[in-house]
Structure 1
Amino acid sequence: MRTAESQYLDLVRRVWEGGVERGDRTGTGTRALFGETMKFDLSDGTVPILTTKRVFWKTAVREMIWFLSGDRNIRKLVAQGVHIWTDWPLARFNSETGSGLDRAAFEARILADDDFAGQWGDLGPVYGAQWRHWPQYVEGEDGRFTRDANGIDQIAALVHGLKNNPYSRRHIFTGWNVAELDQMALPPCHMMYQYFVSGNTLSGILYQRSCDLGLGFAFNIFEAALLLRMLAQQCDLLPGEITWMGADCHLYLNHEHLVTEQLSRAPQDFPRLEIVRRPEDMFGYAIEDFVVTGYDPHPAIAAPVAV
């Protein structure tokens, strides 16, 4: 049965069977294709959560809310049982200190020790920091430029633009700050978003420079759709279509079991997402505001993360 998810499974199959085998930063190795596109209709209330394996969508919602807060430290994620960002600061800690802490012990120290969390839980100016606090410098009376503490809030500016100048071609935000890439635990993979208003309908594009199809894509596409739904609600618009554009679309060589199992499963129709409360602004959402119904996926498939 062909479903919206079938286009994703088709891409996974093409990458695994015909992708170019390449080395990569992690030393794991990948098979990759370059320049792929998918489209998902959100107008009927459905949301792209993969059904051929269980996606822990509440974890993805918590990550998106964390992005929108502008935070750059894993502590608030860890406090909610979200572990998806822990591997990078843990690897840095063990490398720089010679320690051999496992994830559980590291996260326990993050939660218990303010100073430890401040030093080792910080990821650098990653996604949320760029979305909400893009660096801005102001000139003082002495002619010197100093960094403004708040910076440029790209999300607030986006909402303002959608409300007040809906047909602009500049409804864009990005995390790709060239000057700060080397300070980030991981430079942004989902790096640029753009939006388009047609009548009373909002559509969007997510451009990814790099996409881990086995693990990352499931969160990337759901969060892009989630964000579009939140923006539409805040701007009194209806959700339209989310277009996903991937540059380096890859599968890790050690994910063969994931690929084989997932491609053997029949996809179902996507579930529905309801936002049950409208907060005052984009930054007031809570996990309880989101309800997903009709989600009956195949079991989760465990696979290692390449750090």
Structure 2
Amino acid sequence: MPTDPVSNDSPHPEQQYLDLMRHVWDNGDKRQDRTGIGTRSIFGATLRFDLSGGAMPLLTTKRVYWKTATREMLWFLTGSTNIRPLVLQGVKIWNEWPHARYVNETGDALSLEAFVERIAADEKFAARWGDLGPVYGKQWVDWPTYDRTQDGSYRAGNGINQVAQVIESLSNNPFSRRHIIEGWNVAELDRMALPPCHKTYQFHVSGRGKEARLNALLYQRSCDVALGLPFNLWSAALLQRMIAQQVGLQPGELVWNGGDTHLYSNHADLIETQLAREPQGCPTLEIVRKPPTIFDYKIEDFAVSGYEPHPPIQAAVAV
């Protein structure tokens, strides 16, 4: 059984997230941003979470829909860049970007709800308007390469599966300093609906034998602390846990680094409500089976225990 990762005299792991939120809200530089809403921003932040004993950075001061975040991670690992597989599972987190592109390019004032319904019902429409460009999953499992031909031109080569390479290198050369999954493909940024926010993952093995642990560091160039970070923390820890299982290591520490770490100025109600709450309980994750590869996990493979959060807090997503 998982052990309780929090002792009676140590702060709840979630408190560091709340402290970061308060610091950004109270001290952040007021800035204009691409969405036109405006943010309060700091540059450079770090959070650390011990994943031993099944612990996960699953926030309790508001409900975080961890199954939605998990479905998104599994979608990344397929390499898909179209929202239709997510829409068919009821996952809404990417809908606004292709909808905005559709409205801008066609002039059709189709509502978001109607757009999503059409994505689900019409495969051809989804193929045309549901694609996000070469976002996360494409870079993770099919980073493009180019081969030079005899006439000096270039043609597409075989894509690089960074996730598979990291698992192979962790298995065969665990103390390497090159266990990295990178999403920031400079040549393709302009084709992405949104350049990667959680852009660089690095993995590190500490200890030996049965005590060997897999640590992970996520560098996030841009972080919406209120809406994005709760998902990002869960997803990074989930990826770390899946990789650890695949390579036979115990989960270690997750280190999160934020570049532009911000709160949107129209999220005051969310922020004040959440900061007035106290963390409660210590949710844990069990991965109930080990599939043949990291690309074979299903949503049914993940079971969360001890999660009794405060109610959800609604706020608009800045697009």
Using the size of structure 1 for normalisation, the TM-score is: 0.98
Q: Which residue of 60, 65, 69 maps to 1:60?
A: 69
Shift of 1:44: 1.7
1:262 corresponds in structure 2 to 274
In the TM superposition, 1:1-307 aligns within 5 A as: 2-148=11-157, 150-198=158-206, 199=208, 200-307=212-319
Corresponding letter in the other structure for 1:99: D
Q: Is the 8 A contact 1:4 1:269 kept in 2?
A: no
Q: Is the 8 A contact 1:50 1:270 kept in 2?
A: no
Which 5+ residue runs of structure 2 have no aligned equivalent? 1-9
Q: Percent identity?
A: 59
Shift of 1:108: 1.3
**Deviations, residues 172-202 of structure 1 (Å, cap 9, x unaligned):** 0110000110100000000000000012210
Equivalent residues, number: 306
Corresponding letter in the other structure for 2:184: W
Shift of 1:95: 1.0
Which 5+ residue runs of structure 1 have no aligned equivalent? none
Q: Is the 8 A contact 2:217 2:256 kept in 1?
A: yes
Q: Is the 8 A contact 2:79 2:140 kept in 1?
A: yes
Shift of 1:2: 2.7
Shift of 1:288: 0.1
**Deviations, residues 112-136 of structure 1 (Å, cap 9, x unaligned):** 2222111100000000000011111
Q: Is the 8 A contact 1:19 1:31 kept in 2?
A: yes
Q: Is the 8 A contact 1:53 1:262 kept in 2?
A: yes
Q: 2: CA distance between counterparts of 1:196 and 1:257?
A: 39
Q: Is the 8 A contact 1:206 1:244 kept in 2?
A: yes
Corresponding letter in the other structure for 1:128: G
More off after superposition, 98-107 vs 197-206: 98-107
Query: What do you get for the CA RMSD once the two structures are aligned?
Result: 1.0
SS at match of 1:299: coil
Q: Is the 8 A contact 1:79 1:111 kept in 2?
A: yes
Q: 2: CA distance between counterparts of 1:270 and 1:77?
A: 29
Relative contact order higher in (CA < 8 Å, ≥ 6 apart) = 1
